[in-house]
Structure 1
């Protein structure tokens, strides 16, 4: 027995040394493996999010009643309904945002130089001595048509480079679109047969894992599923609230592009805590093309709204829905964003909520068993 353990240690040490020596090749193989799995992983994520809508549509009375005529087709109808809801939301976002964004760029090309002159005249009325600011602003008073002509000439002079760049960009875009299409198709297969896949997964786990491990695994997965579902529902609710508040506040303050900017802020607010700032940056730029002072007022308004959202609305709406205290929500978003960027922010809160529930449950169980009878 001792000789067997010795040989196992030697084999393990040899494998470790080989892994260290060929670490570059191993890491390259791992990256290639995950790049091949990317469409399937994307499909799993799409299926999980769509399943929230699918489950709610299937819970409608006509689809959950076995005596109903549409009951045999409930899964197809619920998947179709979920896809239609997502498509409708995307179409509304495009119809609201894109036309006004194009109009903002048109106004910028025509109206930025006069706006700068008006702002300079306003500074003159304040009787302030700001020579550096005035010099910088006057340098922005550019001849936009002349700049566009020069840019066009520069681009056409390097048609070959531009063509190569366009081909590269189109190739990358085509690869992303293809991965997304494969992911959507894979997600539809998962949603159509989720019960069968669940039974197969249960059968594999029950066959090859001890009963105690299985019980713990089902508990962890159920906790994680509940935390992630509540997070996505709460995040969507919070995005609607912040978008409505932004739109109403801009109407009250008589700021331009209220509907478009409010919609954009609400859409970007799907990113936890900091997402609304992305929409606010685009909104401030659009208002700047109309009136620089109104853009400054909008920035002040959005800063106040973001403080209200980050410290009151988000911790209460999302934190309460997933059972995570507000301080841990803010901590999870901060750490997740620093580690994994946007994806880290999206996953940090539900992962933290899952760990929080598991640790709390384990602490309560151990404290209960350790109490004297």
Structure 2
């Protein structure tokens, strides 16, 4: 019945099969991303609820253990703090955000006109450009850029209406997710116990315990990275806002939000965030550009050397090449969120592979002895 096992390289078949599957997935990364986005879209309410519950669970657990409260009371206090924070953010952030965006949109036409005038009167008439026929090439390309900017300026009511619909959809997902998260936190221990029961029912004890072990390790990595990085990025965003206010840089609020969000991405976050920050600041002149650049680089160094290690603790155990690979794949599948989640997920996969390889090596060493 198991005659195939006499084949000399039978053990290589699973490795070859897995390699082919991985190659096909990477080769069709756009299709994989589309399928995953569809699945995530269908499960969006539950995902919102799970994420909210996961982020609020440490606070609920702290209140429960620190003040010896019942689960219902600790959940009530947790959600009062959470909802109060959301209300305060909307009350303080939305007016400033709308004001910043409105000022940028109002200045865009004048900026495009000034840029076009400067290009036509200074750059295109430069002797070096004329000598090497660069003026015609530059003129053609800069016209495309300016036309694209003009197209962005022409915001009509249809676009505004679509954005309002998208925003209302996000609010609805948030509200539904909050309701689901309450039930998840109430039934947390029961759900975990039921999952363990299923594992022991369908698997032998050693495999079930191994899965539970890796579940705990995955939770530790995600909790350490996701929650820690979220707090870290919030602090960086606040420090960026305070710094820009002290430096008297315009549009400080919207720039701080951009830096805070992109800081969630390891290693490359502040570099990615600096590009739109400079694009926004370009309306305020070269002095503001220099101030923003120096501040963002300073915050990046402060975060990398001091704040990040203090909040997140030990690293996720990934070398730069693994992080670059994780961010690239995550970006292709689910954008910025994918870039953020991909790092701890890759850390879990890498740790699992290393553990499997070590077990195999140890077993072979013991058999040889």
TMscore range, shorter length: 0.5 to 0.7
Q: Give the distance between the partners of 2:164 and 2:59, measured in 1 at CA.
A: 33
Q: Give the distance between the partners of 1:281 and 1:121, measured in 2 at CA.
A: 27
- Taking structure 1 as the reference length, the TM-score comes to 0.64
Deviation readout 1:320-353 (Å, 9 max, x if unpaired): 3434445533332233323443343122111122
Q: Does 1:347 align with 2:338?
A: no
Deviation at 1:190, TM superposition (A): 0.8
Using a 3 Å threshold, how does the CA distance of structure 1 residues 346 and 91 change in structure 2: closer, same or farther?
A: farther
**Contact conserved, 1:97 with 1:264, CA < 8 A, in 2?**
no
Q: Give the distance between the partners of 1:289 and 1:367, measured in 2 at CA.
A: 61
**Contact conserved, 2:317 with 2:347, CA < 8 A, in 1?**
yes
Stretches of structure 1 lacking an aligned partner (at least 5 in a row):
3-28, 156-161
Q: Does 1:39 align with 2:45?
A: yes
- Taking structure 2 as the reference length, the TM-score comes to 0.64
Stretches of structure 2 lacking an aligned partner (at least 5 in a row):
3-34
Q: Give the distance between the partners of 1:231 and 1:34, measured in 2 at CA.
A: 22
Deviation at 1:113, TM superposition (A): 3.6
Q: Report 1:33-72 matches (<5 A).
A: 36-59=42-65, 61=66, 63=67, 65=68
**Contact conserved, 2:36 with 2:333, CA < 8 A, in 1?**
no
Quick check: which has more Rg, 1 or 2? 1
Q: Does 1:103 align with 2:103?
A: yes
Q: Give 2:186's aligned residue.
A: 192
Q: Give 1:320's aligned residue.
A: 314
Using a 3 Å threshold, how does the CA distance of structure 1 residues 327 and 308 change in structure 2: closer, same or farther?
A: farther
Deviation at 1:244, TM superposition (A): 5.6
Q: Give 2:278's aligned residue.
A: 284
- Between stretches 356-365 and 46-55, larger displacement belongs to 356-365
Deviation readout 1:297-323 (Å, 9 max, x if unpaired): 468548856985898689967683434
Q: Report 1:92-171 matches (<5 A).
A: 92-110=92-110, 113-114=113-114, 130=129, 132=135
**Contact conserved, 1:255 with 1:294, CA < 8 A, in 2?**
no
Q: Does 1:267 align with 2:273?
A: no
Using a 3 Å threshold, how does the CA distance of structure 1 residues 105 and 78 change in structure 2: closer, same or farther?
A: same
Q: Give the distance between the partners of 1:177 and 1:39, measured in 2 at CA.
A: 11
* Match 1:336 to one of 330, 339, 352: 330
- Between stretches 126-135 and 274-283, larger displacement belongs to 126-135
- Structure 2 counterpart SS, 1:222: helix
Q: Give the distance between the partners of 2:105 and 2:183, measured in 1 at CA.
A: 42
**Contact conserved, 1:324 with 1:353, CA < 8 A, in 2?**
yes
- Structure 2 counterpart SS, 1:322: coil
Q: Give the distance between the partners of 1:232 and 1:138, measured in 2 at CA.
A: 42
Q: Give the distance between the partners of 2:194 and 2:121, measured in 1 at CA.
A: 74
Q: Does 1:234 align with 2:228?
A: yes
